[in-house]
Structure 1
């Protein structure tokens, strides 16, 4: 392609068609068919213009700004509290798990502070612990909630133990609190489960 009068090139790539001598006479005549690809050569010369570079810089700047705006929009969207599905329970007041956990943390050291593990007395001890914790938790439990208290007491030795539970419930309405207490002789794991009843 020919260059403009200002010295700037119209494009970076230039196309040159090599015509054989027999075809040169046809060059002046209007072409009805396209030249064959064997005679076509494309050369990519490193000729850059200032206006082209500035245009590319402007385009990439706009793309970067648009991308930054999209990323900023994505970062602003936060789900603070997931909305429960339509079939989930919607209690008017939810259980304060921190209050239940505080009851467990205060009660267990007072009740089991100097207790020594005795396998004959443990069944009665577990019942007493469960009933006393239930009576204290009922004071902070909202209306229409049911509660289950599970206490596990064992002798503290050289072995490790894991206490695991699995529940099927509505995570938007139901909850639990657990606490572990141990002294030189025994360990006690108490779990309190609260379930909303419609």
Structure 2
């Protein structure tokens, strides 16, 4: 009987679980984009440390092709607002300031309510002048990223006045 006890390896029961644990870890497969609940050295991931309800950050270097500043839509908005506000008006220097504010506010509101301008900030600038036959020059200068940021201008004129509306769109990184 002594031989029978000596043939039994007392560490056999200890070795079996030690061998099966790495096999379990190796059989756990992850797919790209999936999260692993623990790392190989046994350290837990920090998934549980995130604040409840926190939104993941969506940092991107450039807007996707379909998410660029929608210039045709903005041109249409500017043309419609200027035509609606100024089509039958004659220039009056006392009311011109009110008209420019109304046009800028309306264009700003319609652009902001459009779902096509995600992650863009925009600035609306309106200039109104009397049409007397003299020429006028309107310039602007900006420091921005030429790949993502842009601007669009539209001009409205009748026999009494002219109006230039410019919208600058800058991408939020």
TM-score range, shorter chain: 0.5 to 0.7
1:184 maps to: 159
Give the number of the structure whose alpha-carbon radius of gyration is greater: 1
Moved over 4 A (4+): none
- Displacement of 1:106 in angstroms is 2.0
* Rounded Cα–Cα distance in structure 1 between residues aligned with 2:94 and 2:69: 36
- Displacement of 1:158 in angstroms is 2.1
- Out of 135, 150, 162, the residue aligned to residue 160 of structure 1 is 135
What secondary structure does 2:168 align onto?
A: strand
Q: Over the residues paired in the alignment, what is the CA RMSD in angstroms?
A: 1.5
Counterpart check, 1:143 vs 2:115: no
Q: How does 1:111-126 map to 2 (within 5 A)?
A: 111-126=85-100
Gaps of 5+ in 2: 1-59
* Rounded Cα–Cα distance in structure 2 between residues aligned with 1:176 and 1:186: 23
- Displacement of 1:116 in angstroms is 1.2
What secondary structure does 1:172 align onto?
A: coil
* Rounded Cα–Cα distance in structure 1 between residues aligned with 2:157 and 2:117: 30
* Rounded Cα–Cα distance in structure 1 between residues aligned with 2:127 and 2:159: 16
* Rounded Cα–Cα distance in structure 2 between residues aligned with 1:190 and 1:114: 18
Aligned length in residues: 111
What secondary structure does 1:115 align onto?
A: coil
- Out of 90, 99, 102, the residue aligned to residue 62 of structure 2 is 90
* Structure of greater relative contact order (alpha carbons < 8 Å, 6+ residues apart): 2
1:108 maps to: 82
Scaled by the length of structure 1, the TM-score of the pair is: 0.53
Deviates more, 1:101-110 or 1:154-163: 101-110
- Displacement of 1:111 in angstroms is 1.2
* Rounded Cα–Cα distance in structure 1 between residues aligned with 2:94 and 2:156: 20
* Rounded Cα–Cα distance in structure 2 between residues aligned with 1:138 and 1:124: 21
Scaled by the length of structure 2, the TM-score of the pair is: 0.60
* Rounded Cα–Cα distance in structure 2 between residues aligned with 1:183 and 1:123: 18
What secondary structure does 1:121 align onto?
A: helix
